[in-house]
Structure 1
Amino acid sequence: MPLKYHEQMDRDNTLKLRGLLQELPPFCRCFFRAIEPRTSSRTRIAYAYDLRVFFQFLADSVPELSGKPIEKFVLSDIAGLPVLRLEEYMEYLKYRVREQEELPEDRASGRKGKGKIEILNHEQSIKRKISSLKSFYKYLYRDQLISEDTASLLILPKLRDREIIRLDENEVADLLDTAESGEKLTERQQRFHEKTALRDTAILSLMLGTGIRVSECVGLNIQDLDLNSDGIRIHRKGGKEVTVYFSDEVERILSSYLKARKKMPALSSSEDALFLSLQKKRIGVRAVENMVKKYASAVTPLKHITPHKLRSTYGTNLYRETGDIYLVADVLGHEDVNTTKKHYAALEEERRRSARNRVHLRED
């Protein structure tokens, strides 16, 4: 029996992580075993990449470690590092130069890069790498593998509030109209449009009408769609299975697409996939990202719209309609409602302001 999409992704990520661990010091493996029960395979891969950057920094910056292969590092190499050295690492993260062949995407594709590549990390990326380092040191200290947790003294960089980009109502309508008609696409894009119009409209409608993540969308099987109850069964982060419901408008579009999908030939590994690529395989995350970019660039070129922005658009519309932040958090699959509040704080302020004339002290 073929693996489900999320099971296949876990399998692939687990194998990928094993390869990454071969490039890290042996003492890192106990850390990854410890976090395995409470993290996703994708999160553990991110930790592995982050730690590899840290150890490469040490190999490049600490004289005693110069020329020493990362996989040969021992605990004593990091146990006595002063906070000043870790602060230098934070500074290093802002801008660094690496050999191009070391990039993960080159390794995954089999390409061989040439020369060096410059990497400029943004605040969010730096914060994540420092958080990974803090978690790593905290584990080593808790399990008495080191005598001092110097990383705990690091202060995480303060993130500036970023404007949350969403689609306006008219832009949502224009996006779907363009996906259906292809009118605003380039001549080259229109050549393929007839083959993908129904699928693209179904994907965009489903994401805008439910707020599901792009990984949840591409992982859908035909059996996960129930047109009788107007719901889809998806796998959230952490493997939790939930049913998300969609509107009658979305149901009509999905119903039309499903009739066409059942007539589409598919490779044996993708026979159950709801959404297919032109190569008759399950459509991938990158393909959906490119598809969203294509239509959004035609409709609203000044906004950088991604699948996550479609999710934000749905959350915004749902909150405006219901005013229930807990409902929004539940539907979007946020474990902590504070995460939702942070994203929709501006709308909360808008609602509070709108209440100023609701209560009258005296009759006019």
Structure 2
Amino acid sequence: MSTYHENLKNKETIRLREIQKELPPFLVEFFRGIAQTTSTKTRLGYAYDLRIFFRYLYEEHRALGGIEIKDLTVEHLNEVTSDDIDSFMEYLTYYIRQNYENPENNTELHNDEKGKSRKLAAIRSMFKYFYRKKKILANPATIVETPKIHDKQIIRLDVNEMADFLDAVESGEKLSDHQKAFHERTKKRDLALITLLLGTGMRVSECVGINIKDIDFKNNRIKIIRKGGNEVFLYFGDEVEEALQNYLENRRQAFTKEEGDDALFLSSQGKRITVRAVQNLVKKYASGVTIKNISPHKLRSTFGTNLYQETGDIYLVADTLGHADVNTTKKHYAEIEDQRRRKAASYIKLRKD
């Protein structure tokens, strides 16, 4: 694993330990118990979501309300029913996070179906673990209905928009005067980065973790670390190769502030570019060429759409995008599949002219 990914994992581990201090002490066993089957990022997400759940119990629960979170024991989970979890799901629609030291800084929060489902997954995992260990009498989370997530129309760039987008990155014509002042210094980096995203469909988190040594120009491929920690090679075409080669001429002369860091894409400060910086970069260029809300994930959707339209192979698309379940891919490209079926119907002639 690269130094970047090791450092990221270490930061997540430290943050997880910090959040655990705000949770009931018995959850230390839970996080240790699932460590072999989940990533640090997943456990950190669980910790954030369970913190909200236990704050809710402290503020709202009929039996556990008022009991300090640090004083809760695993036996207290027996007081939580499926109705309590249902009530928590409803609570998540709109709630106020209390700032007890300064009530004027209370925060209003909302959760859609996706946010609720994620929090329910954390609660289910916790109850499942302690029920399997026979430390609680029942698992009420199993009978709580998962919120129905309504499919949203996938936003992607069409062929003309994609060409205009790349032209805007290269020329900088659509930028403000202030942005143009920096464009000359960064345009080769920006073009290489966006061309790579559009040409491979990789996640932005995978992109920022790439080191120069991960690029293999002999085979036109690049090594990335997937979400689960697996190393895979993605292959790229001539346009991506050209953009990367042009950028690397400048990159090799750049000063890297972080010793030993072989990061492919650097910020203006000479450090590895961040996910947030890439998100802002994409938004900056896209705003001048389309009214669509374009993000790095939308560039990933654009790649997936193009690949599926060219090959019709949903399994290839799933594998290239790194989807663990092909059904996830099918759901995203159902609209295109429907268009293909409609088109197929026009090929069938029951009576020849």
How much has 1:114 moved relative to structure 2? 6.3
Question: What residue in structure 2 maps to residue 304 of structure 1?
Answer: 293
Work out whether residues 206 and 250 of structure 1, in 8 Å CA contact, stay in contact via their aligned partners in 2.
yes
Question: 1:295 is aligned with what amino acid?
Answer: Y
Question: What residue in structure 1 maps to residue 201 of structure 2?
Answer: 211
Work out whether residues 224 and 234 of structure 1, in 8 Å CA contact, stay in contact via their aligned partners in 2.
yes
Question: What residue in structure 1 maps to residue 340 of structure 2?
Answer: 351
Helix, strand or coil at the partner of 1:299: coil
Question: 1:245 is aligned with what amino acid?
Answer: Y
* 2:315 aligns with one of 326, 329, 332: 326
Per-residue Cα deviation, 1:152-179 (whole angstroms, up to 9, x for no partner): 1111111112111111111111111111
1:176 and 2:166 aligned: yes
Pairing 1:142-181 to 2, within 5 Å after superposition = 142-181=132-171
Question: 1:250 is aligned with what amino acid?
Answer: V
Work out whether residues 100 and 113 of structure 1, in 8 Å CA contact, stay in contact via their aligned partners in 2.
yes
Per-residue Cα deviation, 1:42-93 (whole angstroms, up to 9, x for no partner): 1111000000000000000025434432122112322122222221111111
How much has 1:305 moved relative to structure 2? 1.2
Question: What residue in structure 2 maps to residue 109 of structure 1?
Answer: none
C-alpha distance in 1 between matches for 2:281 and 2:300:
15
C-alpha distance in 1 between matches for 2:281 and 2:238:
24
Question: What residue in structure 2 maps to residue 105 of structure 1?
Answer: none
How much has 1:100 moved relative to structure 2? 6.0
Q: Is the alpha carbon distance of 1:314 and 1:3 closer, same or farther for their aligned partners in structure 2, counting shifts above 3 Å? A: closer
Question: What residue in structure 1 maps to residue 214 of structure 2?
Answer: 224
C-alpha distance in 1 between matches for 2:125 and 2:323:
22
C-alpha distance in 1 between matches for 2:313 and 2:52:
42
Question: What residue in structure 2 maps to residue 124 of structure 1?
Answer: 114
Question: 1:331 is aligned with what amino acid?
Answer: T
Question: 1:21 is aligned with what amino acid?
Answer: Q
Question: What residue in structure 1 maps to residue 327 of structure 2?
Answer: 338
Question: What residue in structure 2 maps to residue 317 of structure 1?
Answer: 306
Q: Is the alpha carbon distance of 1:259 and 1:36 closer, same or farther for their aligned partners in structure 2, counting shifts above 3 Å? A: same
Question: What residue in structure 1 maps to residue 10 of structure 2?
Answer: 11
Structure 1, 312-321 or 331-340: larger mean CA deviation: 331-340
Structure 1, 318-327 or 24-33: larger mean CA deviation: 24-33
Helix, strand or coil at the partner of 1:45: helix
Q: Is the alpha carbon distance of 1:298 and 1:16 closer, same or farther for their aligned partners in structure 2, counting shifts above 3 Å? A: same
C-alpha distance in 2 between matches for 1:307 and 1:188:
23
C-alpha distance in 1 between matches for 2:2 and 2:342:
51
* 2:251 aligns with one of 245, 261, 278: 261
5+ residue gaps in structure 2? none
Work out whether residues 211 and 263 of structure 2, in 8 Å CA contact, stay in contact via their aligned partners in 1.
yes
* 1:197 aligns with one of 187, 192, 195: 187
C-alpha distance in 2 between matches for 1:289 and 1:357:
42
C-alpha distance in 1 between matches for 2:269 and 2:68:
42
TM norm structure 2:
0.95
Work out whether residues 99 and 114 of structure 1, in 8 Å CA contact, stay in contact via their aligned partners in 2.
no
Question: What residue in structure 1 maps to residue 55 of structure 2?
Answer: 56
Work out whether residues 101 and 114 of structure 1, in 8 Å CA contact, stay in contact via their aligned partners in 2.
no
How much has 1:223 moved relative to structure 2? 0.3
C-alpha distance in 1 between matches for 2:159 and 2:150:
27
Work out whether residues 64 and 79 of structure 2, in 8 Å CA contact, stay in contact via their aligned partners in 1.
no
C-alpha distance in 2 between matches for 1:351 and 1:113:
56
Helix, strand or coil at the partner of 1:269: coil
Question: 2:19 is aligned with what amino acid?
Answer: L
Work out whether residues 270 and 282 of structure 1, in 8 Å CA contact, stay in contact via their aligned partners in 2.
no
CA RMSD of aligned residues (A): 1.9
C-alpha distance in 1 between matches for 2:203 and 2:2:
20
Work out whether residues 95 and 109 of structure 2, in 8 Å CA contact, stay in contact via their aligned partners in 1.
yes
Per-residue Cα deviation, 1:238-263 (whole angstroms, up to 9, x for no partner): 21111101111111111101111101
Helix, strand or coil at the partner of 1:300: coil
Q: Is the alpha carbon distance of 1:99 and 1:199 closer, same or farther for their aligned partners in structure 2, counting shifts above 3 Å? A: farther
5+ residue gaps in structure 1? 103-111
TM norm structure 1:
0.93
C-alpha distance in 1 between matches for 2:133 and 2:32:
13
Work out whether residues 227 and 255 of structure 1, in 8 Å CA contact, stay in contact via their aligned partners in 2.
no
Question: What residue in structure 2 maps to residue 22 of structure 1?
Answer: 21
C-alpha distance in 2 between matches for 1:259 and 1:289:
24
How much has 1:361 moved relative to structure 2? 3.8
Helix, strand or coil at the partner of 1:38: coil
Work out whether residues 75 and 135 of structure 2, in 8 Å CA contact, stay in contact via their aligned partners in 1.
no
What percent identity do the matched residue pairs reach?
A: 51
C-alpha distance in 1 between matches for 2:17 and 2:103:
23
C-alpha distance in 2 between matches for 1:274 and 1:100:
42
Structure 1, 59-68 or 166-175: larger mean CA deviation: 59-68
Q: Is the alpha carbon distance of 1:167 and 1:270 closer, same or farther for their aligned partners in structure 2, counting shifts above 3 Å? A: farther
Question: What residue in structure 2 maps to residue 107 of structure 1?
Answer: none
Equivalenced residue count is 353
